[in-house]
Amino acid sequence: MNHANALPSQNQAEFTIPPPYTTNRKSPALWIASHGWRQAHLILLAIVGAIGNAAVTSLVPMITGQAFNLVLDGAEDLPARLLTLALFLTLTQVFRGALQLSRNFGFEVAAQRVERNVRNELYSSLLGKSMTFHNLQPVGDTMARATNDVREVNFFFSPGLNMVIGSLMFLVMPLYLAPRYHPALILTPALFTVLYFVAISYYMRSLEPVTDEVRASFGALNTRLAEALDGIEVVKGAAQEKNEVGRFDKNARRYRDAFVRQGDIEARFWPMLLFFISLAGGLFHALILYSQGLLTVGDVVAYFGILLMLDFPTFTSIWAYSRLALGLAGARRILELMNRENNLDQNSAGFSGQMQGDVAFEGVNFAYDGSEASLSDLNFTVKPGMTVAVVGQTGSGKTTLARLINRTYDVNTGRVLVDGRDVREWNLESLRRQISIIEQDIFLFSQTIRENIAFGNPNASQEEVEKAARMAQAHDFIMTFEKGYDTVIGERGVTLSGGQRQRIALARAFLTDPRILVLDDSTSAIDSATEDMIQRAIFTASRGRTTFIITHRLSQIRWADLILVLRNGQLVASGTHDELMERSLAYRRIFSE
């Protein structure tokens, strides 16, 4: 049967949290713009402040020029007229301060809101990615993108866009005001503006690959650091501290070298030279017009002051455009993460009814990306309420089999059926809520014991939490802690023993009351006395639900209703313990090795 048309689309997120609005992910610039559009009222306020600030700033040289003419002309009531100009100048600068505040306030608040929204969008996207994605994506690099790259998007708006828009207004005012004194005086600011944008265009093209390398090298640096800290026991156990320092130093040098290249480009910033040439050329031009009697001294002073306004776009653009380039580089890395194709989708319109627990594999073949087949032509059927033991040597595909039931991964060919429906036809959330998997490598959050047990059912009462803990034989040791269920455990549960972590994980699974329970070697770190108690708990908990037990312990295998024997990804035998001991050499070898 061909399910290509019946099954959900494969280009959606595994889980999608509907955002309050959509963003344009076609390019970094469009994506940033779509976030900025949501803050249009703040950015508009900032732009009004930027325009007003530049306009009021231009009054300073104009008023100064008038004052020069008044003094040189020996005007009557000179002190009074100069005092009037001084008071007017004071008022304009007070007003300018308010306009600067509106510009900075608008861009800064917009930047913080954009950062918040970007973080939410990225976090939702990461939670929606499949396990295939997370297995291939280094955690350290993800953290670098979720922290520093998101921060660079913030800096794109403030101070980046803030200074760029503010400085552009300082380019416009000389073009508008210079001809007021003489039409020919527009020449210098016009030439400067044209050459300025040519230089900025070249500057941004030169910065793009360098800023991309800055962000990428930081991601590599963070990745190696995260791996070293996550595997610190291995590093210390093998006495590899010096080698790890060397590897970190290599990544740090790469990051430093990228920054040095960025600094080298910034040091050769052509607008600085253009600005000083423009000042000299503009003053010379004005003096020629003065010698011809076309300008007054006050006009020359005012015009030179207007040209000095060009220093703001010149000096701020050295780092303001770098902030834009780094923001775009950060946006590129974030988008690359969010746009990376998923191989699963949530199938929100799929079946979401009550699960009975019937499981069937029909001609299932599966291989991880770029790897040899992990499972080949797997066929078996499990009735609701059965306890199934999955046994086999390391690497035989036992854990992979379990991951196909809850669609952690999708089969390459064949079908996995739950209650007679292909798992791809189920609503993914409904499917996984009714299946619990307890792994050998238990993950606990740095929260209270109660919060860890109630993770799958946050609204559970204290009585329900304690009942689940008693079923998992965890209640007694929990009560030995001073704060009992309110005890905060360390990250990954490092403050607990292996057996304690696994019993809390069992309690977490029991609390959700799954219809299918998978125990992936989940009692490997438990002593014999505790194992006996947990065996009884598992036996009780497995009643009425389908249970898969992946284990090497004969005590757990013997009482299974069905035993599946895997070798090299193939099902080589199935049956009860007595049947397999009688007719399966592969099964007997497992217990003889």
Average per-residue pLDDT in the chain? Answer: 85
- pLDDT, residue 528, reads 63
* Equal fold, 28-339 vs 359-592: no
Reported confidence tier of residue 306, pLDDT bands at 50, 70, 90 = very high
Q: Which of 47, 307, 262 is nearest to 169 (CA)?
A: 47
Q: Which of 552, 551, 572, 547 is nearest to 562 (CA)?
A: 547
Q: Which residue has the tokens 């950062």?
A: 115
pLDDT digits (tens, 9 = 90+) for 252-279: 899 899 888 888 887 777 888 899 999 9
CA distance 7 to 425: 6
Range from 87-96, 354-363, 492-501, 560-569 carrying the lowest mean pLDDT: 492-501
Q: Has residue 558 got a pLDDT over 90?
A: no
CA distance 360 to 354: 17
Do the beta carbons of residue 563 and residue 388 sit within 8 Å? yes
Share of the chain above pLDDT 90, in %: 40
DSSP letters, 179-212, are HHH-GGGGHHHHHHHHHHHHHHHHHHHHHHHHHH
**CATH architecture observed for domain 359-592:** 3-Layer(aba) Sandwich (3.40)
Sequence-ordered strand ranges (E) for 88-164: none
pLDDT digits (tens, 9 = 90+) for 524-541: 555 666 666 666 666 766
The hierarchical CATH code for the domain 28-339 is 1.20.1560.10
Per domain, the residue ranges of the chain are 28-339, 359-592
Q: What residues contact residue 125 under an 8 Å CB cut-off, 6+ apart? A: 13, 337, 338
- pLDDT, residue 233, reads 66
CA distance 7 to 415: 11
Averaged over 459-473, what is the pLDDT? 88
pLDDT digits (tens, 9 = 90+) for 366-419: 988 767 888 999 999 999 989 999 998 888 888 899 989 988 888 999 999 999
End-to-end, the C-alpha distance of the chain in Å comes to 41
Averaged over 544-561, what is the pLDDT? 82
